[in-house]
Amino acid sequence: MRIGDRVKYIGEARPNLEGREGYILGIDHNLCNAEVEFDAIAYPEGHTPVYVSSTIKTIPIGKLELLFHNNVIDEIPRSTEEQVAIYKKYNRQFDTGATRDVDDYKYDYEAFFTPYVMNRYAQYMHQHRIQEDGTMRDGDNWQKGIPDTAYMKSMFRHFFDVWSIMRGLTCKDPKTNKEIELEEALCGLKFNVDGLLFNILKEKNPVMYNGVKQFKENNGN
């Protein structure tokens, strides 16, 4: 095999790659592993795509089936230096000597979210678990299903509170007559945004939702 070859993964160790095809971007100097750019994939109709772009993985040569040589790429001579450059483009080497593929194409959850916001929102959610009769609802009770219209109306009320407070006005809870703080209003807005998005995603991917629901039921959650 060589750079540019069209290959298919035939191993069993990585079920998410089973049967997927792609092109070889580079081969290590021991000719043991290949850097493969697998084609982007999408689940069948009704499912949410997992990959929005191609996926690059380091695969043992023995786990790849050659489909055909890419003569167009083969016509471009690649020196050892060029192969090393390609390999470095898709791999990182740490000071310890360990290597790993680059993460430019991966979702950076650690950077996208902050514990400050998550912790404050968790406080808000926990505070509102206590119902009027004194009982405490499950933390994921909202996932049982709240209509889109209910989310929309509540979302607008909380946005109005945020808007008013930012303009220097005072907003009060109609039930308690207590002043609504900005953090509280923002958390209320977030709850409805998250809930409405959850409804949309659940409708697009009912199989995934039902699987999570069944898991919770089987584990007493």
Residues 151, 196 contacting (CB under 8 angstroms): yes
Per-residue pLDDT in tens (0 to 9) along the chain, 221 residues: 777 788 888 887 777 777 788 888 778 766 778 888 877 665 444 444 444 345 677 888 888 888 877 654 444 445 556 656 666 666 777 788 777 766 666 778 899 999 999 999 999 999 999 888 889 999 999 998 999 999 999 999 999 999 999 999 999 999 899 999 999 999 999 999 999 999 998 888 776 666 556 656 666 65
> In sequence order, what are the residues at sequence separation of 6 or more whose Cβ sits closer than 8 angstroms to the Cβ of residue 174?
none
pLDDT tens across 34-46, in order?
Answer: 888 877 665 444 4
pLDDT tens across 162-177, in order?
Answer: 999 999 999 999 989 9
